[in-house]
Structure 1
Amino acid sequence: MILQRLRSEMKKENIDCYIIPTSDPHGSEYLHNHFKEREFITNFTGSAGTAVVTENQAFLWTDGRYFIQAESEIKESGFKLMKMGIEGTPTYIEWLSENLKSNDLVGLNGEYFMVKSYEKLKHTLEEKSIFIKDIDLIDNIWENRPELPNGKVYIHDFKFNGKSSLEKISLIRNKLNYYNANITVISSLDDIAWTLNIRGSDIKYCPFVYSYLIIEEESVVLFINKEKLEQKTYEYLNKICYIYEYDEIFNYLGKYNNKKFYIDKNKVSVKLFGSINNSNNFVYGNNITEDLKSIKNAVELENQKNAYIKDGVALTKFIYWLKNTVKLKKINEYDAALKLQEFRKQQKYYIEDSFETISAYGKNGAMMHYSANNENSLIIEERGFLLVDSGGQYLDGTTDITRTIVMGSLTEEEIEDFTYTLKSHFMLSTCKFLKGTSGRDLDILARYNLWKNNLDYKSGTGHGVGYFLNVHESPPSISPRSTEKSLEPGMIVTNEPGVYKEGKYGIRIENVYEIVEDTTVGNDVFYKFNVLSFAPIDIEAIDMKLLDNYEIAALNDYHKKVYEKISPSLNSDERKWLYNVTRELIR
C-alpha cells in the first residue's frame, strides 16, 4: 500500500506528519501528470485538495464540488474525507495545530508550497512549537513516475492578442515603477504565456509551457527548457529576453543584491523565494499581470465573441445529435463526451478542450466535477437529465458552458429544480450593478431563488475566464469567498448556479458574460452583463408557472439571439429543430 511506503519514509526521516498539496512549482490549477502527487497518494482525481498523513491517520481535505467524488475514490486508499467549508470541519492547518504535539516535525516539499500558504502554516505551528522540514518524500516511492513534458512552444499571433509582448512588458514596468520596485519574478504559467504571447502544451487543457520569467528595469530573462524552442520561436523570444535553462533560475536569483523585488506570495514557491538572498527588499501584492490580462482588449473581446459562437455551434449540433441518437442506440456518458469533442474539433482554430468534459447522467450529475471513462460510464436512458459542462481552447479564445439536457420523461421535482436554477441564472444575468461592486456582493443574487426553496450549491457562482489561457482566471470571481476586487468592464465571467441532489441528479445552467458599462446617472456608473455564449436552454424542463414575466422575457430574448447566431452554421434539419426549441414562450 502506498500509504505504508510513505510512512516508512517518514519514519526514516523522523517526520511525524507529511503534507501533500495539489500543486506544481508554479501553483497551477491543472497539473501535468508528473506533479500529481496528491492523486498518487490518495487516488482522488479532483483538481483541489490537501492530503495530511501521520503515523496512524490520513486525511484528505477538499471542497464541496468534490465531496461525493472524493468519498468514492479514496475508499480503498486509507484516507478519511474532511469536508472543507462544512460547519465543524477544521481546516487542515487547524487540525495540525490541535492534534500534533510540541516538538513534532512536519514535512513538506517547498517546491510545491506557495509562500503565502506556507507562511500561514508556519506561523500557526510555531505557536505550538511544531517545526517544519522541507523534504521530498514522494519521489522515492513513486515508481514509473511520468516524465516531465517536452512539447514545443509556439507564438500566439498578434491578430489574436492585439498587443505585443513589448507593450505588455512596458505596462508591467510602469507598475513596477509605481511600486518603486526594480524586479518582479513571474512564476505562474498563464501570466508568462500572456506576457510573452507564447503558448505550449505542457499541461493538458492549458496552453502553457513550464517556465519562469524575471522582468527588470532594463532586461527580461526567461527560464525554459530550450529543447522546446524551435528556431522561429527562439528567434522571436531572443529579441525580447535573455534565455536560460529552466532550472538555472535558482542560482540566477541568488546573484541579486540590494534590489527591491515585487513578489506575489500566492504564486511563488517557498523554494523559489528562498533563492533570493536577505540583502534584498520586497513589495508584496498580486501579480501585476493578473489585473492587466483579466481586462481584455478590443481585439481579444472580438475574437472571444467569435470563439463562443463557434463553440455554441458545436454544442448545439451535439444536443441535436444526442436527442435523436439516444432513441436509436445505446450511448453512455463517455460516448457523449467524445462526440461533443468531435463537433468542437470541426471548428476553426480549435486546439484542445479547456478542461475534461463533465458528461454526467442521472445520479452522476450530483458530482459537480464528475469524470466519465469508458469503464464506469452510465448508459443514457430516455428519462432524466444529462449534465454536460464543457469548453474549448481556440487560438481566438477559451470557452466554458454547461447545459442540463432533457433525455426523456422528468419528475415534478426535476422540473421544479431546473426552473429554480433558471430563475437563479437570470436573476444574476439581468442585474445592473454599481461600479466598485465585487463578485461577493453579487453572489447572493444567484442564490436568492434557490435559498427561498431551501436549496443551495457548495461552490461559487462564477469565475473569470482567460483568453486562450486558463478556463479559471483570477481575479474575477462571483462567490461568497470572492475577494473585494471589483468587477470591471472587459472582464469575462461565468454564471453557473445549480442544484445537486446526491443519488438523484445534478442541474447546472452556465453561460459566460462580458462585463460592460450600462449607463451613468450623475456620479454613479452602472455596469451590466453581456452574454457571450449561445446554445439552447432546454424548455422541456421549465415550469412556466414558476417564472416571473421578466424571466420569460429574458429567456425569449436569449433564445432569439441563439437562433440568430447559431442557425446559419446548421444544416436544414438542425435549423428546423433549433427554431422549435428556441421558440417564443407565452404564459
Structure 2
Amino acid sequence: MNLPADRIKALRNSMKAKGIDAWIVHSADPHLSEYLPAYWQQRVWLSGFTGSVGTVLVTDDFAGLWVDSRYWEQASKQLNGSGIELMRAGEAGVPTLTEYLSLSLKPSAVLGFNPDMVSLKTANVYRNELESKGININTEEDLLQPLWTDRSKLPSQKIFKHDKNYYDLDASQKIKLVRDELKLDDGGWHLVSSLDDIAWILNLRGNDVAYNPVFLAHLAIFKDKVVLFIDLEKVDENIATYLEGHGVQTANYDDLKEFISSMDISKLMVDPERVALGSVSAYKGGIVEIINPSRLLKSRKTDHELSHIRLTMEEDGAALCEFFAWFEAAFSKGEEISELTINEKLLEYRSKRNGYVSPSFATIAGFNANGAMPHYRATEESFSLINGDGFLLIDSGAQYLGGTTDITRVVPVGVVSEEQVKDYTYVLKAHIQLAMAEFPVGYPSPLLDSIARLPLWKAGLEYGHGTGHGVGYFLNVHEGPQVIAYKAYKMNHTEMYGGMITSNEPGVYRPGKWGVRIENLVANVPAQKTEFVETLKFETLTLCPIETSCVDIGLLDCAEREWLNKYHEQVRERLSRHLSGQALDWLNRKTKAI
C-alpha cells in the first residue's frame, strides 16, 4: 500500500468489516501536540498531505481533508490523485466536519476515531453535535494500526536538565505554583499531558519531537506527590536523582491508563483542550475541566527569562546578518542559490552562535509563487532556484538555551513591480501599527488583530492566517494561550499580561505570484499606570533589519517612519559588536534612516 488511494481502500475494507460508516483521522498524538513524532503521523501516512494541521474523514463513498487557508495551495497539490477532496475550512459554503457528518450520515450510523488522538473537548463536540442526530460513536480500536505495517517506533532519546542559569524558579517552586492555583486537596488531582507544560514544570528538556525540545510523558500532580509517566530508558541516574530531589516519582509511560483506571480519588482536574479522550476515558471519578495553570504561568516570562531572551536575540540577529550578507554577495556574483541552499546556510550561521541548539521549525524559503504558500517547505523533489526578478520570503527560527526565535523577512530579488512594492509597504504599515499598540492589562489578545489589519483593509488587502501566536522559552515556537487573530475571539483565556511573547506577522499572498510577510517577536511590557487604567505595550525583541529598498516611503506616515528608524537604530547599536567585515557593512547599509 504505497499510495493514499490504496490506503484509503484498505481502511474502507476495515471499516466495512467492523461496521463503521465514517472514520476520522486527526493530526494529533496523546499529548495533542502540533508537531508529531513519526509514530503518530497517521494523517500524513493515509493522505500524503504533510501540513502540520488537517483532519481527514473517510466514508464508503467520500474522503475529504479539512484544512485552513494556510495550506490550501499545498494541499491541492499533495492530494492530487489521492481521491481525497480538499475541504477549504473557513471558506463560505464549506461545511465544518461535524456539519458534513450531520448531513451525510443517517441516524444509527457509526462514527469511529482513535481516542488517543482526540482532545476531550473535541470528543465532547462530536458527542453533543452528532449523538443528538442518532449517530453512534465508536472509539474501541484504532483501525489504522494493523494497516500501517512500516510504522516508526516511538522516540527514545535521553532527557536533560535545562541549565539552571536560564531559569529562576526550580521544579519544586513550579509544582507548588500549580498546586496553589488548583487548591489541591485530598479529594483531587491534576493530569498534565501537554509536553511543553511538563517540560516547563520540571525544567527538563528532550529531543522526542522535531524542532521542540520536549519529551513524551504525562505528569500527575497530587497534594502530596507527583508521578511522571515516561519511558524509563530516557531517565539516567542523574535525572532520576534530580527528580527524586523535587519529590517526583517515575512510572512507565504505558502504565498511565491502568493507573487512571485504578484511581479512587473523586476529582480529576484536566484541561479539555490539552488531554486526550483515551487518556482519561477509564477514569471512574468525576472530571473537572480547567485550563492548565502551567499554560498561563509559563506564558508570562519572568524578568530573568526576558534578559536571556534579549541576549539570544542578539545572537540570532547576528547570525541572520551574516546570512543576508552572504546571500547578497553570492547572488551578485551569479552563484547558484536554491531555496534549499537558504535553509543550509541559515543552519550554518546559527549553529556558530552561543547557546544554539536546533531550528525551531522547518525553514520556509519561498521564491515568488512558493512564497504565496504561508507554510511552504522546499524539498529535494520540489524546490526553486533564486534567479530572475521577484520576492524571496524567508521564515525561520531557532532554539537556543536562552530562548526561542521566529522571524520572517522578504528579500527583493532583481527588479520588483509597483504592485509588489505596494503589497510590501502595506504589510510593513500593518506590522508597525501593531508594534506601536498600547492596551490595558488583561485585554483580549484577539481584539488586537484589527490594529494590524486596518491598513490592509483600507487598501483592499487581507490574509487568512492569524497575526500573532505565543512563543515559548526554549520550548515550542507556537505557545498559548494568547493569540492575535480576530477569528479566535470566542476562545477563553486569551488575556494579555506582562511577560508574554507573541509574534507580529501580518502578510499578503497572491497565489501563483508572490507572498509578503514581515515578522518580529514582541514582549508585553509595562507602558503606564494611572488612576484610570494600567496598560501594556510591545517591546520588539527580534533584531534584524527590515528591507526598505522596496518600500514606498510616501505611504508611511510620520509615526511609522519614526518607528522604523528607531528600530533600525536599536538593531545597529545592539548587533554591531557581534559582527565584522561584510556582515557589519551589510548591517550599516540596511539600517540607514529613511
Q: 2:582 aligns with which of 570, 573, 577?
A: 573
Assess if the C-alpha contact under 8 Å between 2:445 and 2:495 holds in 1. Answer: yes
The residue type paired with residue 154 of structure 1 is: F
Separation in structure 1 between the aligned mates of residue 496 and residue 415 of structure 2, nearest angstrom = 40
- Give secondary structure in 1 for the equivalent of 2:393: strand
Separation in structure 2 between the aligned mates of residue 525 and residue 265 of structure 1, nearest angstrom = 32
How far is 1:138 from its partner? 0.8
> Does residue 216 in structure 1 map to residue 222 in structure 2?
yes
Assess if the C-alpha contact under 8 Å between 2:184 and 2:222 holds in 1. Answer: no
The corresponding residue for 2:54 is 49
Q: 1:144 aligns with which of 121, 137, 150?
A: 150
Mapping 1:45-84, distance limit 5 Å: 45-84=50-89
How far is 1:76 from its partner? 1.9
Q: Deviations over 1:430-457 (max 9, x none)?
A: 1111223111211001100111111111
How far is 1:122 from its partner? 1.4
Mapping 1:105-254, distance limit 5 Å: 105-134=110-139, 135-177=141-183, 182-240=188-246, 241-254=248-261
How far is 1:528 from its partner? 0.5
Q: Deviations over 1:283-327 (max 9, x none)?
A: 211111111100011221111111111111111111111111123
Assess if the C-alpha contact under 8 Å between 1:326 and 1:382 holds in 2. Answer: no
Mean CA deviation greater in 14-23 or 310-319: 310-319
How far is 1:127 from its partner? 1.2
Q: Deviations over 1:151-184 (max 9, x none)?
A: 1100112211211000000001111217996210
How far is 1:11 from its partner? 1.2
How far is 1:275 from its partner? 2.4
The corresponding residue for 1:539 is 548
Separation in structure 1 between the aligned mates of residue 201 and residue 61 of structure 2, nearest angstrom = 47
> Does residue 383 in structure 1 map to residue 389 in structure 2?
yes
In the superposition, the TM-score normalised over structure 1's length comes to 0.98
Assess if the C-alpha contact under 8 Å between 2:56 and 2:63 holds in 1. Answer: yes
The corresponding residue for 1:97 is 102
Q: 1:402 aligns with which of 384, 392, 408?
A: 408
The corresponding residue for 1:348 is 354
Separation in structure 1 between the aligned mates of residue 364 and residue 345 of structure 2, nearest angstrom = 13
Separation in structure 2 between the aligned mates of residue 555 and residue 252 of structure 1, nearest angstrom = 56
The corresponding residue for 1:451 is 457
How far is 1:229 from its partner? 1.2
Separation in structure 1 between the aligned mates of residue 567 and residue 187 of structure 2, nearest angstrom = 48
Q: 1:528 aligns with which of 537, 554, 559?
A: 537
Separation in structure 2 between the aligned mates of residue 177 and residue 145 of structure 1, nearest angstrom = 42
> Does residue 555 in structure 1 map to residue 555 in structure 2?
no
The corresponding residue for 1:307 is 312
Assess if the C-alpha contact under 8 Å between 1:464 and 1:471 holds in 2. Answer: yes
Mean CA deviation greater in 480-489 or 535-544: 480-489
- Give secondary structure in 1 for the equivalent of 2:117: coil
The corresponding residue for 1:505 is 514
The residue type paired with residue 24 of structure 2 is: I
Separation in structure 2 between the aligned mates of residue 98 and residue 319 of structure 1, nearest angstrom = 53
Assess if the C-alpha contact under 8 Å between 1:463 and 1:478 holds in 2. Answer: yes
Separation in structure 2 between the aligned mates of residue 13 and residue 332 of structure 1, nearest angstrom = 49
The corresponding residue for 1:321 is 326
The corresponding residue for 2:270 is 263
Assess if the C-alpha contact under 8 Å between 1:351 and 1:393 holds in 2. Answer: yes
Mean CA deviation greater in 312-321 or 411-420: 312-321
> Does residue 294 in structure 1 map to residue 303 in structure 2?
no
Q: How many equivalent pairs are there?
A: 583
Q: Deviations over 1:41-89 (max 9, x none)?
A: 1111111110000011100000111111111111121101111111111
> Does residue 374 in structure 1 map to residue 383 in structure 2?
no
The corresponding residue for 2:3 is none
How far is 1:146 from its partner? 1.1
How far is 1:375 from its partner? 2.4
- Give secondary structure in 2 for the equivalent of 1:540: coil
The residue type paired with residue 196 of structure 1 is: L
Assess if the C-alpha contact under 8 Å between 1:162 and 1:298 holds in 2. Answer: no
How far is 1:556 from its partner? 0.4
Separation in structure 2 between the aligned mates of residue 196 and residue 258 of structure 1, nearest angstrom = 24
Separation in structure 2 between the aligned mates of residue 570 and residue 513 of structure 1, nearest angstrom = 24
* Runs of 4+ with deviation above 4 angstroms: 178-181
How far is 1:2 from its partner? 1.2
- Give secondary structure in 2 for the equivalent of 1:162: coil
How far is 1:261 from its partner? 1.8
Q: Which runs of 5+ in 2 are unaligned?
A: 1-5
The verdict on how the C-alpha distance between 1:180 and 1:512 changes in structure 2, with shifts beyond 3 A counting, is: farther
Q: Deviations over 1:534-559 (max 9, x none)?
A: 10111111011111111111110011
Q: Which runs of 5+ in 1 are unaligned?
A: none
Q: 1:519 aligns with which of 506, 512, 528?
A: 528
- Give secondary structure in 1 for the equivalent of 2:133: coil
Mean CA deviation greater in 568-577 or 472-481: 568-577
- Give secondary structure in 1 for the equivalent of 2:69: coil
Q: 1:466 aligns with which of 454, 463, 472?
A: 472
- Give secondary structure in 1 for the equivalent of 2:183: helix
Mean CA deviation greater in 160-169 or 483-492: 483-492
Assess if the C-alpha contact under 8 Å between 1:184 and 1:216 holds in 2. Answer: yes
Q: Deviations over 1:472-530 (max 9, x none)?
A: 10111111114352111110001000000000000000000010111112231111000
Assess if the C-alpha contact under 8 Å between 2:186 and 2:223 holds in 1. Answer: no
Separation in structure 1 between the aligned mates of residue 170 and residue 187 of structure 2, nearest angstrom = 23
